[in-house]
């Protein structure tokens, strides 16, 4: 399953993949940015499929993709998109590269399947996020002319990186103007990751997360306010709360060394 896409250079993309048997690993999609036909339509967020890779030198490169499960409803809704990005980002931070984690794979894919099937709408959630200032702390904020309080819908176009907000347009009316910057919105999701990591013993946190000096300061009170508001506003957040507890357990279980079998003579 495709967890994350990073832009490597003018031509290539770097992909974080989660395999049922292999666990977390990274591959390069050569020419994915430069060619309009190279991997067209298959490197979408949260896509499940058969990813065939080839090794050249010290790196692995994507050869072909056969999509087995597209989750096209998630990117079109900010609430679903928030929870899904958080789950995938958490996986890239908690799992060791190359360590099998079948339990974690089932956990992530199960959550994304639930989000894909959910009938919940998310405009209440995103109004709360805007009001609490999480996006402002990350350098993202709606334009002053945007009436977030009266907004009836919010949506993101992950292709163009635009946020649209406003009242649902009447037939024939133009939609609200988009706000640039959704392509870096994932940075606003990291406060959840760091808040969760803060609760882990320091030695364990150093293994799982980047050095504290590299983390952007986040107002703790604001984070707590948003978390409380999320729990009230969107049903899918309850899935997220269950997920983050089980995610840590699954990651720690995958990272734990296998126990040596007891010698029958020693135990006699």
DSSP labels, 161-227: TEEEEESPPPTTPPPPPEEE-GGGTHHHHHHHHHHHHHTS-HHHHHHHS--GGGSPP--HHHHHHHH
Treating both helix axes as pointing N-terminal to C-terminal, what angle do 186-198 and 220-233 enclose, rounded to 10 degrees? 100
What pLDDT is stored for residue 17 in this prediction?
Answer: 93
- What's the rounded Cα separation, in Å, for the pair 95 and 78? 26
Tokens representing 5 are 């896409």
Mean pLDDT of 61-79: 78
26 confidence band (pLDDT: 50, 70, 90):
very high
Which class is 2-69 in CATH?
A: mainly beta
User: If you average pLDDT over residues 58-80, what whole number do you get?
Assistant: 78
Rounded to an integer, the average pLDDT of 50-67 is: 86
pLDDT at 2 over 60: yes
What is the percent of the chain where pLDDT is above 90? 3
Query: In terms of pTM, does the model score above 0.85?
Result: no
Task: HSE, CB side, 13 Å, CA atoms: give it for residue 226.
Answer: 24
240, 108 Cβ separation under 8 angstroms: no
Kindly report, as residue ranges, where domains of CATH 2.40.50.140 are found in the chain.
2-69
The span from the CA of 71 to the CA of 202, in Å, is: 36
Q: pLDDT band for 25, please (50, 70, 90 cuts).
A: very high
**224 versus 218: which is more confidently predicted?**
224
For residue 200, is pLDDT > 60? no
Residue 141 has pLDDT above 70, yes or no: no
The strand pairing partners of 28, in sequence order, are 14, 61
């Amino acid at each position: 399953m495709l967890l994350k896409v990073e832009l490597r250079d003018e031509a290539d993309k770097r992909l974080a993949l989660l395999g049922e048997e292999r666990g977390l690993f990274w591959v390069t999609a050569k020419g994915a940015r430069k060619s309009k036909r190279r991997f067209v339509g298959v490197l979408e967020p949260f896509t499940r499929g058969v990813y065939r890779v080839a090794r050249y030198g010290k790196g692995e490169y994507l050869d072909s993709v056969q999509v087995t499960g597209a989750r096209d409803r998630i990117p079109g809704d900010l609430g679903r998109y928030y929870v899904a990005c958080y789950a995938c980002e958490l996986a890239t931070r908690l799992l060791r590269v190359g360590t099998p984690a079948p339990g974690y794979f089932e956990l992530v894919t199960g959550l994304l399947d639930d989000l894909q099937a959910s009938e919940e709408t998310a405009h209440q959630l995103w109004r709360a996020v805007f009001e609490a200032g999480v996006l402002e702390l990350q350098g993202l904020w709606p334009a002053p002319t945007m009436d977030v309080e009266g907004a009836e819908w919010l949506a993101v176009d992950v292709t163009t990186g635009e946020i649209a907000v406003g009242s649902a347009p009447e037939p024939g009316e133009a939609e609200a103007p988009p706000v640039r910057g959704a392509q870096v919105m994932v940075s606003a999701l990291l406060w959840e990751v760091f808040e969760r990591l803060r609760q882990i013993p320091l030695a364990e946190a150093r293994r799982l997360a980047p050095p504290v000096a590299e983390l952007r300061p986040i107002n703790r009170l604001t984070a707590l306010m948003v978390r409380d508001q999320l729990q009230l506003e969107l049903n899918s957040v309850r899935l997220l709360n269950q997920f983050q507890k089980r995610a840590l357990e699954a990651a720690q279980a995958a990272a734990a060394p296998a126990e040596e079998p007891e010698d029958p003579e020693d135990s006699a």
